[in-house]
Amino acid sequence: MSDGLWIILIGALVASSCALVGCFLVLRRLSMLGDAISHAVLPGIVLAFFFSGSRDILPMMIGAGAMGLLTAWLTDVLSRFGKLQNDAAMGVTFTWLFAIGVILVSRFTGQVDLDVDCVLYGEIEYAPFTPMEWMTSNGLVALGPRAVWLVGFMTLANLAFVVLGYKYLKVCAFDSALAASMGINVTLWHYVLMGFVSATTVAAFESVGAVLVVAMLIVPPNTAYLLTDRLSHMLILSVLIGALSSVLGYGIAYTIDGSTAAGIAVAAGFFHLLAVFFAPRYGVLVRFLHRPKWISPEEQV
Amino acid sequence: MLPSKWLALLETYRAAAMDSPWVTFFQFNSVNVIYVTLGCIILGMTAGLIGSFAFLRKRSLLGDAMSHAAWPGIGAAFMLQGAKDPWVILLGALLSCWLGAMVIEGLVRYTRCKEDSALGIVLSVFFGLGTLISTHIQHTGNADQAGLNKFFFGQAAALVKDDVMVLGCLGIFMCLGVLLAYKEFKIVSFDPDFAQATGLPTRWISLALATLIVFAVCIGLQVVGVVLMAAMLVTPAAAARYWTERLSVMLFLAALIGAFSGFLGAYISYLGPKMPTGPWMVVAVTTLFLFSFFLAPKRGVVPRLWRMALFRKKTARENVLRSLYKFGESIQNWDAPHTLADLVQARRMALPLLRRTMAGLVQDGLLIETSQGLYQLSDTGLKRGARLTRLHRLWELYLTSKLEIAPDHVHDDAEEIEHILTPELERRLVEELDIPKIDPHGSHIPAGGTS
């Protein structure tokens, strides 16, 4: 398999895993919480780096997961006990954690192998050269890029989560009051979802970086949201659009010699733009053509 | 007089202290320190000021989206020009920020995207575009990437005279803008519908406000960088909100908090190597925020919880007094002692809370504990119990006779209001109800002790 195909595959897997949980963020109007979490995991990752001294995925997952949940929790606490509006609570929390993360990065540079570019833009271009190695009786055997295994596993985990919890997630997303009255633990599902968002963010982090995770979490689900009214269709469409963005994004990045992750984000934005104008029911064009005509009082009579 | 040995020791300490960065900072020996500090203070001040309006309009995260949206503009300015003229970069940033603001507005207005999604989409896609441009520059090697990267995390330490001039000019311009349009911004922030109804051009005012945010973001990028600029817009405003209910005071406080954290950021980064200014500014402002969050006298969490605890205590005590009064009423003998068990049954209070409440009441002389461990009302306790019962029944009567609520629906409401009614309201109730004697359930309303 050529490097290009590996990169496209990784991009598509990142897009799929993000889109699956992103749909629920979009529906619950928590899009910016995805942004907040993807920034706030930075100190968790740095600390995990510092303490484990390696780029092992498990400590990173734990550190970042903890920070992600901390963000969701702090936002909740600030807005509930501090009577602060939700968006401001989120803004205060994640910028604070991100600032701490940046301070830690600049304190520990040299001691840990973590550079800012990797955190921001990811290094999907180098992913094919970091193979997953298995210890067998014949020694180390390399089986495809590490990122494919990691993001692939995350996609499967998210898929399992969405399929198994579909009923609950759906009710919580559309009518949390109804969900509560049906005896569903809305708070628990909220935090489980946040946990999955954090884990997905970390898994995608290495490949696409902190900020572009947000593009994958929000943009394809929103594009799908413009195209359909059914949750199941929205999930499938957003995964498809994410995968298509990966292909187109790789093309863009290859053509102009830029970052692939950024190319994917731009491609996702391009598809969203198409949907904004040409969506069959909610597109601007259709709405413009079907706009109600003004009828003068004489004509009405 | 101290021995000369001690004096010499003190002198060495003093000399060492004078040389330490904690002190040398304030001597402002290097002109660079002055520029950095000034830049940070101006930025903190203007961001706090402008951010307050965004905060009140519940658009705190607009700053976050805007600061990411500036990224392609900066990249494009670099690509076209390559040099580091701050005005050109500023122009690029302004244009793309502004475009981002328009796209957000358009998405919310013309599609079914919600506001949070619109913010997220613009933030991430614009940032993606910017990254594409910047990596393109990096790979083609036209301009040095280091110059570009400084906008991501900000490089306050690299501020030079020209940058500070730009900052200062724009800062003054924005403060003037806020002063001139203060009334309009105020009305649009608090009640956009009312503003529209009075014929104000709300869309233009919103646009002007968004433009000011765009300007604030653009001058902040160089100092604190893309992500942390969002903090300088949100956090000072959120902190100031805890101290006041007045917009003018809030603006002043937010500007002050922003300026002070700007100063702290510059100070801390002077103290040691590898101390980035922007992040320390954010940590400082968040610390000030947390201080306000916990301790601000009226809206802070600790004073509020304290007031709530006091009120709960008062309610528990008054409930006990009223129950004992009602026990006495049922046997027409208010001197008879009662057991804890009676009260537990009547009030369904947790036993530890009840014990604490009783002990407090005994201490304050409202209750008398008999030698058998029973409780009876003292004279003052009896008066208080009678008054509470009176308020309770007056209110019940008011609800049934004036608001025509069924008698079996009024108890819970009266149960809450009896702790709050003032003598003034009591007098008004008595007047309204023509000096009543009997409540809707046929019980006697105790005579007022004071009125």
Question: What are the domain boundaries of chain A?
Answer: 3-214
- pLDDT score of B326 more than 60: yes
Q: State in Å, rounded, how far the first CA of chain A is from the last one.
A: 71
Residue B17, chain A, CB below 8 Å: the answer is no
pLDDT for A160: 95
ipTM of the complex: 0.89
Best residue in B103, B227, B229, B264 to probe A by mutation, most A CBs within 10 Å?
Answer: B227
Q: In sequence order, what DSSP letters do the residues of A1-58 get, joined into one string?
A: --HHHHHHHHHHHHHHHHHHHHHHHHHTT-HHHHHHHHHHHHHHHHHHHHHH-S--HH
Mean of pLDDT values over B243-247? 92
Chain A environment of B58 (Cβ under 8 Å): 85, 87-88
Give me the architecture of the A3-214 domain, per CATH: Orthogonal Bundle (1.10)
Whether B139 and A211 lie within 8 Å, measured CB to CB: no
Whether A222 and B301 lie within 8 Å, measured CB to CB: no
Residue holding tokens 């613009």? B122
Cα–Cα distance measured from residue B232 to residue A53, given in angstroms and rounded to the nearest whole number: 33
Helix (H) or strand (E) holding B209: helix B202-224
Whether B293 and A82 lie within 8 Å, measured CB to CB: yes
- pLDDT score of A291 more than 90: no
Mean of pLDDT values over A152-159? 92
Beta strand A139-145 pairing with A131-136 = antiparallel
Strand locations in B283-427, DSSP E? 367-369, 375-377
Whether B61 and A106 lie within 8 Å, measured CB to CB: no
* Torsion (CA) B417, B420, B424, B425 in degrees, nearest 10: -20
pLDDT for B257: 96
- pLDDT score of B259 more than 60: yes
pLDDT tens figures, A9-32: 988 999 999 999 999 999 988 888
**Banded pLDDT at A155 (limits 50, 70, 90):** very high
pLDDT for B52: 93
- By the 10 Å C-beta count (0-12 exposed, 13-18 middle, 19+ buried), B179 is classed as exposed
Residue A274, chain B, CB below 8 Å: the answer is no
The domain limits of chain B are 28-296, 303-377, 381-432
pLDDT tens figures, A129-148: 666 666 666 666 666 777 88
Best residue in A80, A93, A95 to probe B by mutation, most B CBs within 10 Å?
Answer: A95
pLDDT tens figures, A93-102: 999 998 898 8
pLDDT tens figures, A210-221: 667 889 999 999
What count of Cα atoms within 13 Å lies in the side-chain half-sphere of residue B398?
A: 20
Mean of pLDDT values over B424-434? 87
Give me the architecture of the B381-432 domain, per CATH: Orthogonal Bundle (1.10)
Identify the CA nearest to B149 among candidates B135, B167, B163.
B135
Q: In sequence order, what DSSP letters do the residues of B217-286 get, joined into one string?
A: HHHHHHHH-HHHHHHHHHHHHHHHHTT-S-HHHHHHHHHHHHHHHHHHHHHHHHHSTT--HHHHHHHHHH
Identify the CA nearest to B250 among candidates B51, B57, B117.
B51
| Helix residue spans in chain A (DSSP H) | 3-27, 31-52, 57-81, 86-108, 116-121, 146-164, 166-174, 176-181, 186-208, 210-227, 231-256, 260-278, 284-289, 297-300
3-state secondary structure of B139: helix
pLDDT for B146: 55
Contacts of B213 (CB under 8 A, 6+ apart): B50, B51, B54, B62, B63, B66, B101, B233
Mean of pLDDT values over B279-283? 91
For Cα atoms B53, B54, B57, give the angle at the middle one, nearest 5 degrees: 85
Whether B121 and A218 lie within 8 Å, measured CB to CB: yes
pLDDT for A238: 95
Residue in A closest to B287 by C-alpha: A96
pLDDT tens figures, B11-67: 888 887 777 777 777 777 777 788 888 889 999 999 999 999 989 988 888 888 988
pLDDT tens figures, B129-187: 988 888 888 777 655 555 666 677 677 777 778 888 888 888 888 889 898 989 989 99
**Banded pLDDT at A116 (limits 50, 70, 90):** low
pLDDT for B450: 47
- pLDDT score of B398 more than 60: yes
Cα–Cα distance measured from residue B280 to residue B115, given in angstroms and rounded to the nearest whole number: 31
Looking at CA atoms only, how far is residue B403 from chain A in angstroms?
32
pLDDT for B451: 39
Out of B58, B113, B116, closest to residue A32 by CB: B116
Looking at CA atoms only, how far is residue B208 from chain A in angstroms?
21
Residue A234, chain B, CB below 8 Å: the answer is no
- pLDDT score of B204 more than 80: yes
- pLDDT score of B280 more than 50: yes
Q: Percent of chain B at pLDDT above 90?
A: 23
Fold observed for domain B28-296:
ABC transporter involved in vitamin B12 uptake, BtuC (1.10.3470)
Whether B135 and A121 lie within 8 Å, measured CB to CB: yes
Residue in B closest to A26 by C-alpha: B117
Structure tokens at A151: 């993001």
3-state secondary structure of B210: helix
Mean predicted lDDT score pLDDT of chain A: 85
Identify the CA nearest to A215 among candidates A68, A35, A7, A26.
A35
- pLDDT score of A111 more than 60: no
pLDDT for B408: 86
The type of residue at B260 is: F
Best residue in B62, B102, B103, B121 to probe A by mutation, most A CBs within 10 Å?
Answer: B121
pLDDT for A205: 76
pLDDT tens figures, B90-132: 888 899 999 999 999 899 888 888 889 999 999 999 999 988 8
- pLDDT score of A165 more than 80: yes
Identify the CA nearest to A22 among candidates A148, A197, A244, A203.
A197
Looking at CA atoms only, how far is residue B360 from chain A in angstroms?
29
Whether B61 and A87 lie within 8 Å, measured CB to CB: yes
Looking at CA atoms only, how far is residue B102 from chain A in angstroms?
14
Cα–Cα distance measured from residue A118 to residue A106, given in angstroms and rounded to the nearest whole number: 14
Mean of pLDDT values over A249-269? 90
pLDDT for B449: 55
Fold observed for domain B303-377:
Arc Repressor Mutant, subunit A (1.10.10)
